[in-house]
Amino acid sequence: MSFFISGKDMIEHAHKNQYSIGAFSAHNAETIQGILWAAEEESSPVMIQVGQKAIQYMGMERMQKMIELFSSDITVPISIHLDHSREYKQTLKAIQLGFQSVMFDGSSLPFDENVRITKKVVENGSLLNIGVEGEIGTIGGIEDDITVAQEDVNITSVEEAATFSSRTAVDYLAISMGTAHGLYKSPPKLRFQRLKEISGEVKKPIVLHGGSSVPDDQVRKAISLGISKINVDTELRQSFTLGVQEVFHNHPEEWHLAVSLKSGRDRVKEKVKEKIQLFGSSQKANQFKRFCK
């Protein structure tokens, strides 16, 4: 029996117990299955993200229904999260559909406008105990249709993080601390001192975007300083694609999609298991269920 839970409760437990929830982006049936099966095998709570490319390709409600369908025999806590919505109307739709977590990304807006809309999202989400994520600061790289050049990256200051958190009452806060969306050509240099200062000031879970290919030691240190949700997308898309390509490379006459898609799904599952172990959420499912009672 599937166990859907508020993202607010899920991230709060991770924050209190110093581990991080993996927020894994799904794009089709196979990536959904790979994420869910990995979480089940690792006995880990999991967040499945529905991003803008997936919404454009499949539709928001169809993605939600697929996740719910494939979750029917999953026993670990699950939260479906709307990722990087830049439209209030779209974010409200996800709340109305029953997503357990939503993100309004107003990081490209003037500060006061970002605060105003994010606060409205929080007010709506809180009525149904739906977790709400906001973002302050600008994260570089490419995420779906959003591209931010390196020169436009804006590392979040302690003052703006504290003010934004206080005025919006977001449940978890995404900040810019040196990561970027996509894969890194060279190891990133995360601003750990800034993370420590922001975490100490806002006293709530912090979200790390651009979690793909960040070195393990930096991930562990970030978690120890307050990161409680880590987004992973590019590495999963890469894993799936390489799995499919592997079949055609090794067996050029193999045209059964069940074979190539299974290979892609298996690669996603192994990558998610690897991340779950790194983030410290492995074997936390039962502990979390007791926390919810």
**Residue among 9, 83, 171, 233 flagged as catalytic:** 83
CB-count exposure of residue 73 (10 Å: 0-12, 13-18, 19+) = exposed
83 is catalytic: yes
Give kind and range of the element (H or E) at residue 172.
strand 172-175
Q: At what angle do helices 111-126 and 158-168 cross, to 10 degrees?
A: 40
Residue with tokens 């229904």: 65
Residue with tokens 């490379």: 249
Contact 105, 143 (CB under 8 A): no
Sequence-distant (≥ 6) Cβ neighbours of residue 292 within 8 angstroms: 5, 9, 77
Choose among 253, 259, 190: nearest CA to 227.
Answer: 190
Look up residue 90 and give its two tokens.
């779209």
- Catalytic positions, written as ranges: 83
